[in-house]
């Protein structure tokens, strides 16, 4: 007799015919009568109905079993299953536009403040939360002199770095701001003079910085980066500089402009998407620091498309320039400030400042500014030319081009920074599985770091990607020929 129940291969449940045969065998043996003799008998009808209820119970048990595991659960059962790992389904989110808001120092931008694009149709964007735009979170600052006193000391402190100017011969505001502009020497900032004002500009348009001035100076205006939400869920794409109209009248708010890339929104996570993201996010419970940081960034930072961490746990600098006992997170997409916050929260105490080509400032335990570094990957744009040899014994579907493009784009989207690209491993088998009628697939590539460069010549083989690079493609870069 076949064994039913939980087996090494999972649940095995009997079919209606199996249960009905077992019931007939046992009763026929006990009564010494062939109960199958008359299929239309009252007893046989009753036995069939009873066996059907038993099958329903077996099926219920199988459903309960599959509902416990993320790989097989669906809908609400999947939500419940992933919660055992501390994971929840991503809800629909709106696109975030970091907007440069020029204000009087100390202007409160309340949640719900509305600004508008000059596009057709116009779109309204609302402030995500209450934000105080002041010298403690500036990206651009315009400083003016309050009192001109030859021989007085004029001091500017930027993120804890102090710069002073004193000249007994300085007789005008213009002399003082010109002197300050020359003494302020920070690699991540540039200074200039505008009329009688000192203009301090962060080279990274995304950063928020801290400015302190001596009492004989003040700010004329400051520009802070403030997040605004799109009106609809999903990704809303607008050109740079088009969000520039102030709708809600806020005293002290002077100008707005979107100068940075947006943080893409999304629709509610589907079951297949949740299963894939579960594998990345589950490392939040890991004791491995790099995996924990990766998971925290995936789970808590909107708009992240890819993330990968590297660790140098030796006492020497490694081949990629990482200092001893350091980590480097390579992140594509998402807010730099939010990414830095996750790294700060998850990194080990011995890692003083993670390594990378991008900086953001977070607040330390003593309210001190802390510089956190991570890397933005260099994107390697891959063009594909896929040549098909048809199988005459099968019929090629009419949508074969779109199906192949979708397979390649989907597989390429799973790559992480530093992942080499092999068409044979990545998507050739998937094309054969999804598209019938193909006997052989030959894939050639052209890879470039220039987004606008057209393919010159294609070649076959492995695309080598460095740890600070990420291979990407899109449907428009995939050509399918027979």
The domain boundary, picked from 26, 48, 67, lies at 67
Residue 195 falls inside a structural domain: yes
Largest interatomic CA distance in the chain = 123
Same domain for 431 and 357: no
pLDDT in tens, 38-69: 777 777 788 888 888 888 888 888 888 888 88
Residue 90's contacts (CB-CB under 8 Å, 6 or more residues apart) are 266, 268, 269, 273, 274, 277
Going 265 to 268 to 272 to 274, the CA torsion angle's sign is positive
Confidence of residue 286 (pLDDT cuts 50, 70, 90): low
Same domain for 233 and 382: no
Same domain for 363 and 387: no
Domain extent, residue 313, equals 286-374
Token pair for residue 76? 């609400």
The total number of structural domains in the chain stands at 4
Residue 268 falls inside a structural domain: no
The domain boundary, picked from 320, 351, 374, lies at 374
Same domain for 130 and 253: yes
Least confident of 77-81, 119-123, 125-129: 77-81
pLDDT in tens, 145-194: 998 888 889 999 998 889 999 888 877 888 899 999 999 989 889 999 98
Same domain for 400 and 412: yes
Residue 181 falls inside a structural domain: yes
Same domain for 26 and 56: yes
pLDDT in tens, 325-382: 888 999 998 888 889 889 888 876 656 567 888 888 887 777 777 888 899 999 999 9
Same domain for 366 and 224: no
Residue 81 falls inside a structural domain: no
Check residue 190 and give its pLDDT. 93
Token pair for residue 262? 């947006």
Check residue 287 and give its pLDDT. 53
Same domain for 244 and 157: yes
Range 24-41 average pLDDT = 77
Residue 172 falls inside a structural domain: yes
The domain boundary, picked from 331, 354, 374, lies at 374
Q: List beta partners, residue 216.
A: none
Give the predicted TM-score (pTM) of the model: 0.63
What does DSSP say about strands 243-246 and 107-109: parallel, antiparallel, or unpaired?
unpaired
Same domain for 369 and 402: no
Same domain for 467 and 395: yes
């Amino acid at each position: 007799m076949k064994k039913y129940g939980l087996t090494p291969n999972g649940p095995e449940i009997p079919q209606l015919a199996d249960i009905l045969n077992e019931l007939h065998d046992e009763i026929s043996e006990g009564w010494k009568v062939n109960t199958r003799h008359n299929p239309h008998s009252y007893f046989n009808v009753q036995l069939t109905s009873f066996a059907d209820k038993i099958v329903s119970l077996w099926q219920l048990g199988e459903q309960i079993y599959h509902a416990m595991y993320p790989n097989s659960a669906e809908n609400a059962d999947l939500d419940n299953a992933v919660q055992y790992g501390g994971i929840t389904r991503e809800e629909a989110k709106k696109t975030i536009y970091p907007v440069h808001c020029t204000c009087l120092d100390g202007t409160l931008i309340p949640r719900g403040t509305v600004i508008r694009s000059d596009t057709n149709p116009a779109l309204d964007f609302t402030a995500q939360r209450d934000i105080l735009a002041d010298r403690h979170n500036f990206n651009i600052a315009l400083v003016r002199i309050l009192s001109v006193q030859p021989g007085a000391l004029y001091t500017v402190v930027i993120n804890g770095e102090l710069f002073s100017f004193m000249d007994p011969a300085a007789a005008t505001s213009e002399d003082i701001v010109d002197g300050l502009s020359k003494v302020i020497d920070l690699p991540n900032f540039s200074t200039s003079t505008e009329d009688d004002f000192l203009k301090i500009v962060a080279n990274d348009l995304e950063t928020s910085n801290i400015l302190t001035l001596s009492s004989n100076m003040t700010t004329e205006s400051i520009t802070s980066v403030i997040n605004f939400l799109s009106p609809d869920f999903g990704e809303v794409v607008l050109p740079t500089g088009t969000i520039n109209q102030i709708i809600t009248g806020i005293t002290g708010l002077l100008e707005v402009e979107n100068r940075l890339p947006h943080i893409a929104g999304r629709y509610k996570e589907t079951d297949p998407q949740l299963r894939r993201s579960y594998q990345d996010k589950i490392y939040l419970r890991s004791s491995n620091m790099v995996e924990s940081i990766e998971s925290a960034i995936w789970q808590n930072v909107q708009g992240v498309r890819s993330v990968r961490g590297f660790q140098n746990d030796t006492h020497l600098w490694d081949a990629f320039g990482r200092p001893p006992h350091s980590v480097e997170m390579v992140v594509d997409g998402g807010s730099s400030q939010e990414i830095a916050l996750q790294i700060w929260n998850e990194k080990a105490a011995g890692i003083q400042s993670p390594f990378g080509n991008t900086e953001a400032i977070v607040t330390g335990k003593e309210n001190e500014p802390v510089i956190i570094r991570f890397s933005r990957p260099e994107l390697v744009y891959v063009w594909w030319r896929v040549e098909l040899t048809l199988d005459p014994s099968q019929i090629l579907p009419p949508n074969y081009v779109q199906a192949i493009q979708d397979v390649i784009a989907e597989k390429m989207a799973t790559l992480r920074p530093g992942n080499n690209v092999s068409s044979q491993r990545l998507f050739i088998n998937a094309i054969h599985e999804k598209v019938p009628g193909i006997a052989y697939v030959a894939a050639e590539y052209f890879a470039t770091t220039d987004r606008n460069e057209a393919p010159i010549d294609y070649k076959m083989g492995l695309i080598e990607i460095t740890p600070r690079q990420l291979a990407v493609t899109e449907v428009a870069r995939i050509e399918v020929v027979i």
